[in-house]
Amino acid sequence: MPTSTLFKLLIGVCFLVLLHGLPASAQLFVVNGCVYCDTCRCGFETNVSTPISGAKVRLECRDRATWVLKFTKEAITDSKGKYKINVYEDHKDESCKVVLVSSPHLGCNRPDVGRNSATVILTNNNGLTSIFRYANAMGFLIRRPLAFCPTILKQYLDFDESL
C-alpha cells in the first residue's frame, strides 16, 4: 500500500512540475476584422461596399518607446472578407495594429489612406476580459466609382434640416 501512495504522489509532483513549466505568456488573443472594397470611393463603408476575398493583412506590434518591430503575423481574408489572427503572447508594452498588405481584386487594390490600418490592444492589463479583439474594417479603393454611387451617397448625405 505505501508503494501505491508513493507512486500517486510522484505522479502528482510530476504533473505540477509540467504545469509550472508552461509559459505564463501563453495567453491567447483572437483578432477579428474584415476588408472591403470601397465601390463609391467615399472613404467609408456603404451598403454597396463589397467584401474582398483573398486580401492579405498583417498584424504588427512595435515597442512603444523605440518603435522597433517586435511581432508580426499575416492572415488572408475568407470569402466574406473576414480574417482571424491568433496571438499567443501579451503585448502590453507594444503598440499593435493590423495593416492592409494586398488585394487580389485588380480593380480594387489601392489602400484607402484613412482606412488602411486598425489599432488593436493585445493585453489583459486594461480591463478587457474577453480574448476577442475586433479591429475596425479596412478598405481598398475601387479605380472608378460605380455609376449609381451619386444616388447612394445622396442617401447618406440627406438629413432633416429642421433639426
- Per-residue pLDDT tens digits for 79-93: 999 999 999 999 988
How many separate domains does the chain show?
Answer: 1
8 Å CB contact between 122 and 29: yes
Domain that holds residue 126: 24-146
Residue 11 lies in a domain: no
Tell me, yes or no, whether 118 lies in a domain: yes
Does some domain include residue 15? no
The stretch 20-40 carries a mean pLDDT of 79
65-114 tens-digit pLDDT: 999 999 999 999 999 999 999 999 999 889 999 999 999 999 999 999 98
* Chain centroid offset of residue 39 CA: 22
Task: Please answer whether residues 101 and 83 qualify as being in contact, where contact means their C-beta atoms are separated by less than 8 angstroms.
Answer: no
Q: Is residue 39 part of a domain?
A: yes
pTM of this prediction?
Answer: 0.78
| Most confidently modeled range among 20-29, 31-40, 42-51 | 31-40
Distance between start and end Cα atoms, the chain: 86
pLDDT band at 16 (very low <50, low <70, confident <90, very high): very low
Given a cut of 50, whether residue 22 has pLDDT beyond it is no
Quick check: is 57 in a domain? yes
CATH number at residue 35: 2.60.40.10
